[in-house]
Chain A
Amino acid sequence: MLIGNTAERFGFVTKTLHWLTLVLLIGSFTLAVSMVNMPFSPRKLEFYSWHKWVGVTIFLVVLLRLGWRLINPVPQPPQGTPPWQRRLAGWSHAALYAILIVMPVTGWIMSSALNLPVVYLGLIHIPSPFGVDRALGETMKVVHLSLAIALLTLVAVHVLAALYHHFVQRDDVLRRMLPWPARLKGTNAVNWKTQ
């Protein structure tokens, strides 16, 4: 099994962390959408705590991903990809990473400012330097929600781009990130359109 990345392929670690991020995001959004509309109840408090734990986990997973990315080669877009697509891919990936890092931070500041401190898994208290501040909490609520909308948009772009590569360009871009080992067509097949 390939642990690290090569110039053509993503290794086990990158793939695992990528799909783990998706599973955590689905969990986080599901909890978020149900908890905000619940009447005040023990279940609601429980959902909020779980949502915060998942958020902290996403933050840690994304830090790991960025660290792994630094010490590993990153497979490049297929040859012949137009520069504007390369640029767009670069920006959207950077934006995805940025939001996945910033969003948990805004949630943590919001929750702490509204006097519900974040205690990861009920064990590790993560104190906020900003303390309890209702106005700050309300501001962070708006920022957190805006980032959620931005994230959903970017994820949609990400998925559409992957499907475009797979079904329209018929290249390896989606296949090389599949969680199971996939046979790649190789760089020659990638450029069938431009050849």
Chain B
Amino acid sequence: MPSVALPSHALFGRRLARRSLLRSGGAMLVAGAAAYTLACGGGKKQANQGAASPAAGADPAVAPAGAFIEDLKPRPFVTTPGKPGGILNLHYAGVGANQEPREMEPIASLDVYLGWLAGFVCNGLVKWVETKEYGQLEIVPDLAQSWESPDETALIFKLRQGVRWHDVPPVSGREFVAQDVKFTLDRQSVGGAKFPLAFLYSSIGSIETPDKYTVVLKLKGRDITLATKLGHPQYVMNAPETAERYDINPPTLIGTGPFVMVRYTKGSMFELRKNPNYWKPGLPYLGGVNLHIVPDPAARLANLRSKTVDLDEVPYSQLQPVRRSNPELVVIKFPGNVQGGFAVNHKAPPFTDIRVRQAVQLAINIQDFHNILWDGQAQQNPGCWWWQKPYVLPLSEAFKQDLQKAKQLLAAAGYADGLRFTAIPTSPDPGPRSAVQQLEIWKDQLKRINVDLEILPLDTAQAQQRIFIDKAFQAYSYAQAAAHEDPDRFWMVFVYSKAGRQVTNYADPRMDQYLEAQRNARTIEERVDWYQKAQRLNIEDPGYIFLNTPYKFVAMQPYVRNWVPRASLGSVTRNSDEMWLDKR
């Protein structure tokens, strides 16, 4: 193309040769790449200076020597009062787009993160705490000061006196009384789509309130699990005035907890401020909590590094770079709150044959899942996960890879030449630690027994329709599903055949017998025995193939005091009233 002769500027007078330009550009790119590598923690020399990466097969529960990672210790008893004041800045919930609460009534919600938020604002009758060691939970009083069980079908709760609702309309600081408990429990018992968790509390027959501070629950039958389920973080008290005015959608959460939610800016932030009328004298220490809604993982990490937030969960792979840029951060390791796995449909060939179900499970090398998904920082989940400590089957009894046996089983089932099946991930997200990635690992392992797995990624809503409504699947994969404190929440919903929600078409009558028996158990030991039987049966004939639960790593600024993770939600919650900032 001929150039047009135009008057040249003196500034731009010198011509630049193409070769020089390319050379300079190349040099700039190399320099940029080097800067990026250094900043992101690359470089062999630096990598060896930090916490040693655990070797495959090493016990992930033990932090490497000299590491800056501290294993979580039992909660120390707070002997000295904390410094009052200061605003704690946190990220709200987990990473992802659909993380904001739908309803502002935890008891009506399926959103586990609303339970996390409720931990700051609301109270239940009882709550779970980690009193002895992590991995061992106990039910302790919350709004109920004490309780007793005169017989197997009654529970009497004595409420604390002088507890007041937050001083916001429509409750305007009135006293919390037994009628509020009756209202909450009666209201959710309607069930249906508005209160989809009501079935968990179906053993409650009637509720009586003989006086302002006494609640009597009359049960339809024995239910050893009821008190534990009342401690669920979403099972918090609600006032009739709020429900009458807003139904399940008040503009903010209203409760009796240490913090009052003064503002919720959708997509941006929850602003909580100290409740001056909190029923625990002298608490909370903090002047408030800001919960920032930040879905992007890179932005969350940047906020931690810049002290915009005071603590956050950090993936194991990011700990070394974070340590280099912010050596002052304290990192705590503790058992996580999510689990992943597969399910096979007992009514969909080839899984109508128990031998095929067993074979696809025996093809799994669980260590690959630990290493690829969680950098080795995970533990096998035999059916009950580690926060459900008394119920967990010893890991020696969990399934192990046995390719020889898997091939024999397939041959006996008539698939000596191999077979092919399709699995749906519950979400099409192909990212790290996703249901898709789990299937990719399984697909690779199944090739060794001549089984071809086809992954069928569908849009989330479409996948849910296929799996949970139509039950039109051979196998499905779920990842990072929230695990709960009590095993009932999973087994009675997804495994018990009479629950109406079981999707795997698991029909072994022994399983129903075990699960019914655990509900009717008279002691914890008896219940443990039934749950262990159920886990063994599921390993012998899998409906669900449970993979692993990861450790979590929380990095916090050194001035954060009295932080305790929530078993089911993995971050600060019910002890928020005891947290304080040692800043000034």
Please say whether chains A and B are actual partners in one complex: no
User: Could you tell me which B residues sit within 8 Å of A by CB distance?
Assistant: none
